[in-house]
Copies of this chain bind each other. A is one copy, B any other.
Amino acid sequence: MKQAKVRLYVEHPLGAGQTVPLNRDQAHYLFGVMRMGAGDPLLLFNGQDGEWLCTVAHAGKRGGELLCQEQTKPLQMPPDLWLIFAPIKKARTDFIVEKAAEMGAAQIMPVQTEFTNSDRIRQDRLQAHALEAAEQCGGTYVPVVHNLQKLDRLLSDWPQDRQLMFCDEAEVGSAKRLGAATGDKWAILIGPEGGFSPKERTRLHAHPQAHVVALGPRILRADTAAVAAMTVWQQMLGDWA
């Protein structure tokens, strides 16, 4: 068989002998754009059944059918990690969502802080970015992108069993201290471009589950800080070990 060049997320059960119907958009992409035909292989995942090697059983203009052949990867859930960030310019917000999927965050939470300009996001567009990044990076899980919420509110409702890694450019905190924290539920909070407000900073420093971590001597943009913070966390506590 030819090598699979396409990797797609589908909302359909996958399993030995299972057929998967294609909608019009999927058929257009596979048969129109990618020029695939009957018998050609591709990889599917659905966030639940791992990754499956499938073949085109029927190729049509407005639809089609795929047939599951064999599982190529089991389901690999990312660590129970939230990435919380304040949305910035469109392109950089898109990058943060893409990077969160590649780096293995389970949930992506845009928040409004006192110094955040944006008061709305396109949740559907960001979710689509996360899905594309999951297709591209070989993951078997698509992180959930939440709607915009207020940081203030999120902190008031904070779950007692979740640790918070908080990246404060005004502070010096060694990542090594993270290792001493207990529990496997975590969140990483990246500050907005204008930094946290004094009120927010006071509240975060007083937060019982907060761990302050510094990311080097230079000021990182929010998208750089997101990747750097997830690297620090994944290496120390996540699935990179």
Chain A residues within 8 Å of B, Cβ to Cβ: 76, 91, 95, 98-99, 102-104, 136-139, 175, 214-221, 224, 227-228, 230-232, 234-235, 238-240
The interface residues of chain B lying within 8 Å CB-to-CB of A217 are 76, 104, 239-240
Identify A99's interface contact among B76, B224, B238, CB under 8 A.
Answer: B224
Bound Cα distance from A47 to B136, whole angstroms: 39
Give the shortest distance, in Å, between A172 (CB) and chain B (any CB).
10
CB of B103 within 8 A of CB of A218, answer yes
Q: Is B104 a contact partner of A216 (Cβ separation < 8 A)?
A: yes
A-B CB contact pairs (8 Å), 19 listed? A76-B217, A102-B219, A102-B220, A102-B224, A103-B218, A103-B224, A104-B217, A136-B219, A137-B218, A137-B221, A138-B218, A138-B219, A214-B240, A215-B240, A216-B238, A216-B240, A224-B227, A227-B231, A228-B230
Q: A224-B227, A231-B228, A231-B231 are in contact. Are A218 and B95 (CB under 8 A)?
A: no
B-side contacts of A138, CB under 8 Å = 218-219
Closest to A101 in B: B218
CA distance A98 to B221 in the complex (A): 10
Residues of chain B with a CB closer than 8 A to A238's CB: 216
Q: How far is the CA of A235 from the CA of B240 in the complex (A)?
A: 15
Contact A218 B102 (CB under 8 A): yes
Asked if A137 contacts B219 (CB within 8 A), the reply is: yes
- Asked if B216 and A234 make an inter-chain contact with CB atoms under 8 angstroms apart, the answer reads yes
CA distance A7 to B240 in the complex (A): 38
Of chain B, the residue at the smallest CB distance from A134 is B218
Q: How far is A218 from B227 in the complex, measured between Cα atoms in Å?
A: 14
Report the minimum CB–CB distance from A53 to chain B (whole Å).
17
Decide if B228 touches A216 in the complex (CB within 8 Å): no
Please indicate the chain B residues that have their CB under 8 angstroms from the CB of A214 in the complex: 240
